[in-house]
Structure 1
Amino acid sequence: MARTIKDQTVEELGGDGSVLARQRREHAEMDRLMDRYQRLTDSEEQARLLKEIVQLVFSHAFAEETVLWPAVRCSVPDGEELTARVEQEHQQINDLTSEIERLDPQDPRRDEMVRRVFALIRQDIRDEEDELLPRLQDALNPAGLRRLGAAWEAVRRSAPTRPHPAVPRRPPGNALLGIPLSGYDRARDALGASTGSTAGRRRAAVVLGLLAAASAVVTVVVRGVRVTRRR
């Protein structure tokens, strides 16, 4: 098996556009932002940075689950077991982040929960870079890794940016739900800084309401399909 992707050159990873190189760059950015957060003392700055970390982590993970892990399951002999473990880590991060978002910013439990999320993210990075991604590297040639990288990047750029614990971890359910949820999340991100006026708040409420309704419809459809398949 190839060694951890953390220590390889970009050329060894298949080039700058390889999914391995793209993954490693974003993992390094996550580490940098988490380190910066832990050095901050101002609560408002921490809140802004935590939002940035959450947006990065969840768009990254959604692209993994939609594009990357299906490729691992198809090309790596024990890909099912490997991806199931990482998906479990993603679900734990999702659930815990959702809890943090529901807490009052001054809640004394918040700091400890953020530390737990950061520890889970770092464990997830190590599992991917030391075991799962090297196995994918053994299975695909550089051209295949670059094609996968382009697909992963396209999905990442349009992925949801917030935790959604009820969303399935695998296609097609996650991809179907990701369409309206991505619009909902990105509208919240964009409108959050520009809704100071009464009219702005009303426009934001209308947009978010429509997107939330679309999300709910798709959720019902997906759940119906899943129930039908069990019968």
Structure 2
Amino acid sequence: MPEHDAHDAHDDVITELVVDHREVEELFVRLEGPLSPEDRQDALEHLVAELVRHSVAEEAWIYPAMRDRLDDGNAIADRETAEHHEVELMLKQLEGTDPHSPQSRPVLEALMTAVRGHVAEEERQLFPALRAVYSAEELRDLGDKVRTAKKAAPTRPHPGAPRDQVSRRVMGPFVGLVDRTRDALSGRSV
């Protein structure tokens, strides 16, 4: 299971998101290896929750920051949001399926490919672009906002939910509370 202690309360937003990326990659590697049915189900549930929380936080805070200061920020944020939506649709397909079933394997492989491509692009292009236009203090402030958003974010995919910044900031915590209640009632430990 990924180490959530790797995050530091003083990390800037880029460090925060890179740590998230590494945690997701660790879960991918686990899922690619031999696991017991219980461990595979646990890894898949953690993966779903991590990706949903990460996406909600990025859409609430990072993409608006891109729109605000990057020359082509609107186009980049629109593309990134569309990629998130595709990932969320795949997560919804995986939710509640048997992770050992042959039918789930192609969806999981497509998910891994999509997320790995998304992560590579963010780390190679978008994060350096953000560092170039935001001060260290602003990036730390965004890190605080992203950490707060992830704590309140949903833990399950909701591909039909509104994706705009205001909806993510306002509705995200409510949907997150509902998801965490469902998780507790079902015994899902994410």
Report the TM-score range of the alignment, normalised by the length of the smaller protein.
Answer: 0.7 to 0.9
The equivalent residue for 2:148 is 154
Match in the other structure for 1:210: none
- TM score, norm. by length of structure 1: 0.73
Query: How much does 1:174 deviate?
Result: 2.6
Give the Å deviation of 1:89: 1.0
| Change in CA separation of 1:164 and 1:110 when aligned onto 2, cut-off 3 Å | same
Deviations 1:179-210 (A, max 9, x none): 3211111111222229xxxxxxxxxxxxxxxx
Q: Which amino acid aligns with 2:177?
A: G
Is contact 2:149–2:169 with CA below 8 Å preserved after alignment?
A: no
Query: How far apart are the structure 1 equivalents of 2:41 and 2:148?
Result: 28
Unaligned runs of 5+ in 1: 1-14, 195-231
Tell which has more relative contact order, 1 or 2 (C-alpha 8 A, sep 6+).
2
Q: Which runs of 5+ in 2 are unaligned?
A: 1-8
1:138 is matched with 132
Larger Rg: 1
Q: Determine helix, strand or coil for the equivalent of 2:23.
A: helix
Match of 1:41 in 2: 35
How much identity, in percent, do the aligned residues show? Answer: 28
With normalisation by structure 2, the TM-score equals: 0.88
Aligned amino acid, residue 145 of structure 2: A
Match of 2:6 in 1: none
1:31 aligns with 2:25: yes
Aligned length: 180
Q: Which residue of 1 aligns with 2:178?
A: 184
Q: How far apart are 1:65 and its partner, in Å?
A: 0.4
Q: SS of the counterpart of 2:154?
A: coil
How do 1:2-151 and structure 2 match up within 5 A?
Answer: 17-104=11-98, 107-151=101-145
**Amino acid in the other structure paired with 1:43:** P
In 2, distance between residues paired with 1:80 and 1:34?
30
Name the CA shift for 1:98/1:154 in 2 (closer, same or farther; >3 Å): same
CA distance in 2, matches of 1:175, 1:124: 22
> Aligned-pair distance for 1:90?
0.5
Cα RMSD after superposing both structures = 1.8
1:152-181 Cα distance to aligned partner (Å, 9 max, x none):
111111111110011122122233331321
1:47 partner letter: Q
* Residue number in structure 2 paired with 1:193: 187
The letter for the 2-side match of 1:18 is D
d(CA) in 1 for partners of 2:31 and 2:98?
A: 18
2:64 & 2:146 partners in 1: Cα distance?
Answer: 11
Look up the equivalent residue of 2:37 and give its one-letter code: S
What is the letter of the counterpart of residue 33 of structure 1?
L
Deviation at 1:18, TM superposition (A): 0.6
